[in-house]
Amino acid sequence: MQFAVIPFVLFYIFYTASAANTPVCTNGFTLINNKCLKLYTTPASHSAAEESCRNVGATLVTVKNENNNQAITTIVGSTASLVWMGLYCLDSDPSKCLWDDGTGSAEMYSNFASENYDNNLFCSYQLATLGSYKILLKFDEFITESNDDIVRVYDGDSSDKPLLGTYSGNLNPFGLVSTGNTMYVTFKTDESNVAQGFFTRFLVYSGL
- Owning domain of residue 56: 10-108
Domain count across the chain: 2
Q: How far apart are CA 112 and CA 199, in angstroms?
A: 17
Tell which of 60, 75, 108 closes a domain.
Answer: 108
Helices (H), 46-100: 46-55, 66-76
User: Is there a single domain that holds both residue 31 and residue 101?
Assistant: yes
Q: What is the DSSP string of 107-153?
A: GG------SS--SS-EEEEEEE-STT-EEEEEEEEEE--TTTSEEEE
Q: How far apart are CA 148 and CA 203, in angstroms?
A: 28
CB contact burial 81-99 (16+ within 10 A = b; e otherwise)? eebbbbbebeebebeebbb
pTM of the predicted model over 0.85 = no
- Asked, for residue 96, whether it belongs to a domain, the answer is yes
Q: What's the confidence (pLDDT) of residue 10?
A: 36
Kindly tell me if the per-residue pLDDT of 81 is higher than 70. no
Strand segments (E) across 17-109: 30-32, 35-44, 59-60, 83-84, 87-89, 97-99
Taking all residues of the chain, what is their mean pLDDT, rounded to a whole number?
Answer: 78
- Asked, for residue 2, whether it belongs to a domain, the answer is no
Q: What are φ and ψ of residue 94, in 5° steps?
A: -55, -25
Q: What are φ and ψ of residue 201, in 5° steps?
A: -150, 150
Q: How far is CA 101 from CA 3, 157, 180, in A?
A: 18, 35, 37
CATH number reported for the structural domain that contains residue 186 in this entry: 2.60.120.290
Tell which of 74, 108, 142 closes a domain.
Answer: 108
Q: What are φ and ψ of residue 183, in 5° steps?
A: -150, 145
User: Is there a single domain that holds both residue 146 and residue 96?
Assistant: no
pLDDT band of residue 154 (cuts 50, 70, 90) is very high
Q: What is the CA radius of gyration of the chain?
A: 19
**Distance of alpha carbon 133 from its chain centroid, rounded?**
24
User: Is there a single domain that holds both residue 79 and residue 27?
Assistant: yes
User: Is there a single domain that holds both residue 44 and residue 94?
Assistant: yes
- Asked, for residue 78, whether it belongs to a domain, the answer is yes
User: Is there a single domain that holds both residue 156 and residue 201?
Assistant: yes
Q: What's the confidence (pLDDT) of residue 202?
A: 83
**Distance of alpha carbon 45 from its chain centroid, rounded?**
8
Kindly tell me if the per-residue pLDDT of 28 is higher than 60. yes
Query: pLDDT tens across 165-203, in order?
Result: 999 999 999 999 999 999 999 999 999 998 989 888 888
Tell which of 83, 108, 133 closes a domain.
Answer: 108
Q: How far apart are CA 123 and CA 143, in angstroms?
A: 16
Kindly tell me if the per-residue pLDDT of 5 is higher than 80. no
User: Is there a single domain that holds both residue 100 and residue 154?
Assistant: no
Contacts of 207 (CB under 8 A, 6+ apart): 134, 177
Q: How far apart are CA 143 and CA 167, in angstroms?
A: 10
- Asked, for residue 37, whether it belongs to a domain, the answer is yes
User: Is there a single domain that holds both residue 104 and residue 127?
Assistant: no
